[in-house]
Amino acid sequence: MVTIVERTEGHYDVQEVEFGRVYRWCPDCVVVECECGERLTLTASSTATCRRCGADHTAALRAEVAAERLGDEALHPWRYAEDREDAGIPF
């Protein structure tokens, strides 16, 4: 048995740089609490085994992460960025 404490959806962090924007992907993240009281922060690529009691929470993690399907704007924010006059390489 596992309780989901917090969930953060996958998203891009946008960073303004000198000649444009950089998009960095942050995957889905789930904070769960095991029956034994241990809290784990899990992503789809992390091991979902409790360090304290050894319980495997993989099925619960995959069900929670798979439940959320992101739209195109969340997956490709650069396609929806407004045109900026100050963006690009100066001639």
pLDDT along the chain (91 residues), means of 10: 80 86 84 87 78 82 63 69 58 46
The pLDDT value recorded for residue 91 is 46
Q: Are 44 and 65 in contact (CB under 8 A)?
A: yes
The pLDDT value recorded for residue 35 is 87
Q: Among 13, 16, 40, which Cα is nearest to 27's?
A: 13
The pLDDT value recorded for residue 25 is 85
DSSP state of 80: G
The pLDDT value recorded for residue 3 is 78
The pLDDT value recorded for residue 86 is 57
The pLDDT value recorded for residue 43 is 77
The pLDDT value recorded for residue 64 is 65
DSSP state of 83: P
